[in-house]
């Protein structure tokens, strides 16, 4: 139980640090970019440009704040459930980091929605005219993609069985059920 407590504490600290970085970069964006022309990092490719996003990704669903609160709550509840069921093992550390970043991204943008009524976005890939985004968006996107790759190519089905709801409990990867053979 002591190891599980350490895992949960590490998760909370990781989330807090990631949120801190997100909020700091947004503070810098407001202080340095609001009301100013874009700051060009690489001409024609990448720039910093201030934007107040009242919607979701790509500016969709403008003004649907309640929906975003519900989505963030579902993400946090699902993450808590996954964290609780995740074995304390170095093998699951990459998945734990992904989970940490997804939660940090959801909370980071939620902080903006609650305190400002919009999300501060400032990263713009001009080369492909990609919608302006922020660090929290990067967390969610990169961590979700990494988790998908891990689940598809790194973890075996038996290792993911700990997250299955079989009788309300998963099983540890090393546990065998009736009919399973040693490999």
pLDDT tens-digit series, residues 20-79: 999 999 999 999 999 999 999 999 999 999 999 987 765 667 767 788 889 999 999 999
Q: Average pLDDT over the chain, rounded to whole?
A: 89
- Is 112 designated active site? no
| Cβ–Cβ under 8 Å, residues 52 and 120 | yes
pTM of the model: 0.85
Residues in Cβ contact with 155 at an 8 Å cutoff, skipping those fewer than 6 apart: 95
Which residue in 43, 129, 137, 178 is the catalytic one?
137
Question: What's the CA gap between 132 and 138, in Å, rounded?
Answer: 11
Q: Which residue has the higher pLDDT, 143 or 56?
A: 143
Q: Locate tokens 């808590």: which residue? A: 80
Which residue in 37, 112, 121, 129 is the catalytic one?
121
Residues in Cβ contact with 112 at an 8 Å cutoff, skipping those fewer than 6 apart: 26, 118, 119, 120
- Is 121 designated active site? yes
């Amino acid at each position: 139980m002591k190891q599980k407590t350490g895992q949960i504490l590490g998760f909370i600290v990781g989330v807090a640090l990631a949120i801190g970085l997100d909020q700091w970069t947004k503070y810098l964006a407001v202080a340095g970019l609001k009301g100013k022309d874009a700051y060009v990092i690489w001409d024609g490719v990448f720039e910093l440009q201030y934007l107040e996003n009242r919607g979701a990704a790509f500016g969709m669903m403008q003004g649907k704040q309640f929906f975003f609160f519900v989505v963030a709550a579902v993400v946090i509840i699902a993450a808590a459930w996954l964290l609780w069921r995740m074995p304390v093992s170095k093998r699951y550390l990459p998945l734990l980091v992904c989970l940490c970043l997804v939660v940090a991204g959801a909370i980071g943008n939620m902080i903006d929605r609650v305190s400002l009524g919009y999300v501060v976005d400032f990263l713009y890939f001009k080369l492909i005219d990609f919608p302006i985004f922020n660090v929290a968006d990067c967390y969610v996107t990169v961590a979700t993609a990494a988790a998908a790759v891990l689940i598809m190519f790194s973890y075996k089905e038996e290792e993911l069985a700990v997250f299955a709801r079989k009788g309300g409990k998963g099983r540890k990867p090393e546990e065998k059920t009736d009919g399973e053979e040693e490999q």
